[in-house]
Amino acid sequence: MNAEVNQEQVPNKFCDTLDAIIRSIGHVVMWTNGILIVVIILQVVLRYGFGRGLVVLEELQWHLYALGIMFGASYAQMLDSHIRVDIIHARLSQKWKYRWDLFGTVVLLLPFIIIIFHQSLDFVWESWRVNERSDAPMGLPWRWAIKSVIPITFALLGIATVSRAVRTFLSLRRT
């Protein structure tokens, strides 16, 4: 048996289902990057070509950036393409890499996700309660909608993290 078992090679119906959900959402949200490029170009043309930028386009840029980054975190976790501290990881045997990944996931990442998710609920609820909108007169309404992305994306990140932890655990058992 090969000691270099890749986590993606460990079949698991539960993890495959969770990953498919994250992948599908990620593929839809990826299109916000194309929209973001169009909005940036439009804002630049309006501001520098006609001397009149729009506040709504400026705010829309930030909202689109937020969607890409926040949903992208769960997508990166699902693909295991996130940044890791290679100084330690690179020097470990495959078995210890799995152990190190599992430790980081269970002891560091999952508690962080749970705390942010839990703390964001009151933050989002208050935004919904007051029907929060932009402070700018011509800004975007419904600021509560973009704030709602926080618990949604941290829930997705939690799902992707659980899937990754299960795959890591199964890989560890196979080595």
The C-alpha angle with vertex 92 and arms to 87 and 97, in degrees rounded to 5, equals 100
| One-letter identity of residue 25 | I
Q: What is the mean pLDDT of the chain?
A: 90
| One-letter identity of residue 39 | V
Predicted local distance difference test score (pLDDT) of residue 4: 41
Give the 3-state secondary structure of 111-155: HHHHHHHHHHHHHHHHHHHCCCCCCCCCCCCCHHHHHCHHHHHHH
- The mean pLDDT of 98-117, rounded to a whole number, is 95
- pLDDT, tens digit, 9 for 90 and up, residues 139-156: 888 899 999 999 999 999
* Residue that wins the pLDDT comparison between 8 and 71: 71
- pLDDT, tens digit, 9 for 90 and up, residues 156-171: 999 999 999 999 999 9
CA–CA gap between residue 174 and residue 95 (Å, rounded)? 9
The phi and psi torsions of 141 (rounded to 5 degrees) equal -80, 175
CA–CA gap between residue 153 and residue 147 (Å, rounded)? 10
Predicted local distance difference test score (pLDDT) of residue 173: 92
CA–CA gap between residue 171 and residue 113 (Å, rounded)? 23
